[in-house]
Amino acid sequence: MLKQFFVSNEAPSLAHKLCLLMMSIYLLADIAAGFTVIQLGVNLKLSLLYKLPLTVLILVLVLLLDARYFVALLSLLAILLIGPIFQLANEADGGAFINDFSNVYKMLMPISIFVYFGLLSIRWKSFTAKWLEKILLTNFAILCFNLLLGALGFGRSSYELRDGETAGSNGYIYAANELGATMVVLFSFVLHICWNNHRRWYPVLSLFTVLCGLLVATKTAMLAAALLVFVIPLANERERFFQMTKLKLYTLVPMTIGVVIIALVITDLLEALGLYDRFMWVLSQKGILGIVLSGRDEYARDLLVVYVDYLAFWQQAIGVGTAGIAEYLPIKYAAEIDAVDVLAYFGFFGLLICFAFYILTFVKAASQFVKCEAVYSPSVVVGTFILLFLAQLSGHVWISGTLGISFGCFVSLLWVDNEKRSNS
């Protein structure tokens, strides 16, 4: 009975279908987890309780499909945990090790899913393509439901201001930056589908995308929303992407005019609003980089000083985990800039693993998106590029439980990307 659940040569087994179904509704677990924290004040770890069995199931299915890739994934897990294990042996800080394990688990989640769908597509390609679309569309609907709750005043605010005032809303997905990164993936896919199959509705969906970005109100969400609605159509020009076309003129000329107008009137506008002196003071204190990074540059500098000046070479290679960094920076020891945090916690090899995965998937998408037979690559190349950029501004991309499953499925579209697209 158990063998029949996991193994089937003629069609995907029940285990595969259960795994795919769990991926399709995983954002509900994040919403439920946020609801218990925000409304009940109790962290029941519902998201972890949902995703951990799902991750185990994915690894078991990878083992059954091709044991070599299972061994490779376990090897990556071992490499990333070497530094934290050494730190655990020296400090016996179980809480810090659990935090490090959680971070590694989040980092490997999209890689594991990418490997799983690659193996699955070798045997059942059309089945894989159908379920990848279903997973992304279902989670897009769930994300929109969460944003609707946020617009109605439920859930958590993105920012707490002075005198009890708030700005933006996450709904019940707790981390605003993780929500913004997940929006990049899901809105990129849906905008792409709309442009190619229902183009007359694209302006409506574009407006909805921008409004959702403004609702969340983080730099990640707002910048990503603005970029997506303009860049998705350009990427869908495919083989003409590097040529000047009417679409580029219709898109770039208004954008350029808008930027020029803003540059000309921004000083007068800030003065009219009474914000000019405050803005100039903040600029003089923090600089442009400090404003863009919201002060994260200071934490990043502290982490890099520890990494370069205080860690031995072998520690720089494998990392020292959060406990090791806390020895030098006990109060604040996360920059929330992914490359810096990964380098400090998991060393050069950890940074190499993350960069390799994100850059290789971007390069694979970039090599395919100009081909007319590529169904999904234009959306993947846009989404992965934006995430590569945003990961170094706001963090919570490489180390994100909310994004991991969506992103793994999103880049897995590259495995089934060789059928003729629908006519628009």
CA nearest neighbour of 349 among 312, 317, 324: 317
Q: How confident is the model at residue 424 (pLDDT cuts 50, 70, 90)?
A: very low
Position 253 scores a pLDDT of 80
DSSP of 140-159: HHHHHHHHHHHHTT-SEEEE
Tokens found for residue 45: 């770890």
What are the helix (H) ranges across 165-244? 176-197, 202-216, 219-235
pLDDT given for residue 291 in this prediction: 59
- Section 2-18 average pLDDT: 83
Residue 148 or 373, more confident: 148
**Would you mind telling me the total number of residues written for the chain in this entry?**
424
Q: Is 314 helix (H, G, I), strand (E, B) or coil?
A: helix
Highest mean pLDDT among 45-54, 150-159, 253-262: 45-54
Residue with tokens 């180390």: 399
- Judge contact between 345 and 325, C-beta under 8 A: yes
Over residues 203-215, mean pLDDT: 92
3-state secondary structure of 329: coil
One-letter identity of residue 283: L
Which two structure tokens, joined as six digits, stand for 286?
A: 């923090």
> 160-174, 256-270, 284-298, 409-423: lowest mean pLDDT where?
284-298
Q: Where are the alpha helices (DSSP H) in 66-124?
A: 67-91, 94-123
- Provide the token pair at 298: 């200071």
Contact 172, 394 (CB under 8 A): no
At 66, which amino acid appears? Answer: D
> In the predicted model, is pLDDT for residue 28 greater than 80?
yes
In percent, how much of the chain has pLDDT > 90?
56
3-state SS, residue 170: strand
Q: Output Rg (C-alpha) for the chain, integer angstroms.
A: 22
The pLDDT confidence band at residue 20, using thresholds 50, 70 and 90, is: very high
What CA–CA distance (Å, rounded) separates 284 from 323? 35
Report whether pLDDT(18) > 80: yes
Confidence band of 423 (pLDDT split at 50, 70, 90): very low
Q: Is residue 266 scored above 90 in pLDDT?
A: no
Comparing 375 with 217, the larger pLDDT belongs to 375
**Phi, psi for residue 327 in degrees, rounded to 5:** -65, -30
Output the pLDDT for position 205: 95
Cβ-contact 214, 239 below 8 angstroms: no
Task: Place 370 in a pLDDT band, splitting at 50, 70 and 90.
Answer: confident
Per-residue pLDDT, averaged over 237-258, amounts to 80
Contacts with 377 (C-beta within 8 Å, 6 or more apart), sequence order: 365, 368, 369, 371, 413, 414, 417
**Per-residue pLDDT tens over the stretch 98-121:** 999 999 999 999 999 999 999 999
Mean pLDDT, all residues of the chain = 87
Whether the pLDDT of residue 315 is over 90: the answer is yes
Q: What is the structure's pLDDT at 140?
A: 97
Lookup: tokens for 390: 């945003």
Where on the phi/psi map is residue 245: left (φ > 0), alpha (ψ -120 to 50), or beta? beta
The phi and psi torsions of 157 (rounded to 5 degrees) equal -75, 150
Q: Which residues contact 398 (CB under 8 A, 6 or more apart)?
A: 106, 107, 338, 339, 342, 354, 358, 391
pLDDT at 286 (0 to 100): 64
pLDDT: which is higher, 120 or 257: 120
pLDDT of residue 226: 87
In terms of average pLDDT, the best of 4-13, 110-119, 255-264 is 110-119
pLDDT band at residue 269 under the 50/70/90 scheme = low
Q: Tokens 């000019």 sit at which residue? A: 276
Q: Which residue has the tokens 């609605």?
A: 229
323 or 161, greater pLDDT: 323
Burial track 26-46 (b if 16+ CB lie within 10 A, e otherwise): bbbbbbbbbbbbeeeeeeeeb
Q: Nearest Cα to 56, choosing from 44, 70, 67? A: 70
